[in-house]
Amino acid sequence: MRQKALLQIIGQEHVSSQEELQQKLAQMGIETTQATLSRDLKSLHVVKVPGEGYRIPQNTRPVLTTVPQGIISIEFSGQIAVIKTQTGFAPAVATYIDHHHSRPVMATLAGDDVVFLALRQGFSQEETLKALSKAFPHIAEYLLH
């Protein structure tokens, strides 16, 4: 959970010090030591770029191996699906979808508690739900009609 929060912070904000990262984690209710934070940054392959702050190189982005939770609902409109999540969970849900190559999903866009899915032409709502259920087994239960 701490590492997912770190990825979220670094992906969305300019952060240039470990102290700043600790403060942002604390704001999310996650307390950590500087030593633990250093180990997390190393294991996530985070680099500090002068003038840009912390970054995760594109070719070494870690793949999430555990299914993120927090989905509240999913709703379809044409070639768009909207997944609503608990606050702070949308980036992890979008990243999980991106890394697990759901064929009907062309792209994801995540806010704090909403994920927009751009769907490919020719895929039905049922086919999309079936593909997403491989990553999120109970997603059909959250379907809004």
Give the model's pLDDT for residue 65: 45
**What single-letter amino acid sits at 34?**
Q
Give the model's pLDDT for residue 26: 92
pLDDT band of 102, cuts 50, 70, 90:
confident
Average pLDDT, the chain: 85
- Which CATH number among 3.90.120.10, 3.30.70.60, 1.10.10.10, 3.90.550.10 corresponds to the domain 2-60? 1.10.10.10
The H or E element that residue 37 is part of is helix 34-43
> Whole-model pTM?
0.55
Is the predicted pLDDT of residue 120 greater than 70, yes or no? Answer: yes
Q: Averaged over 57-66, what is the pLDDT?
A: 51
Residue 4's Cβ-count burial label (10 Å; 0-12, 13-18, 19+) is buried
pLDDT band of 58, cuts 50, 70, 90:
low
- What CATH fold (topology level) applies to the domain 71-142? Gyrase A; domain 2 (3.30.1360)
Domain-wise residue ranges, the chain: 2-60, 71-142
